Copies of this chain bind each other. A is one copy, B any other.
Amino acid sequence: MKARVHVTLKKGVLDPQGQAIAHALGTLGFAGVGDVRQGKYIEIELAETDRATARARVEKMCAQLLANPVIEDYAIEIAE
């Protein structure tokens, strides 16, 4: 079973990486680019076969390691 996790900065938290991308796109001549936000995308292979259990474990992984819940949100998708 595979879990896909998106970790993104919460709304209102300054995102210097995103700002750097927006600035670089402007420099490269891309007009009409507004806000850019950069987050992390993590794919995890799990031996677990039950979807609900897999999701619960990945929740725990996010809370303990993958995300900083003070400034980051996370979203979990469980795929086959």
Contact = CB atoms under 8 A, between A and B. Distances in A.
Contacts of A36: 42-45
Contact of A32 (B37, B48, B60): B48
Tell me the number of copies of this protein.
2
A68 interface: no
- Nearest 4 pairs of A and B residues by beta carbon: A34-B45, A32-B47, A41-B41, A39-B41
A46 interface: yes
A21 interface: yes
Interface in A13-46: 18, 21, 24-25, 28, 30-46
16 contacts: A7-B41, A8-B41, A21-B42, A25-B61, A28-B61, A28-B65, A30-B61, A32-B47, A35-B44, A35-B45, A36-B44, A37-B43, A39-B41, A39-B43, A40-B40, A40-B41
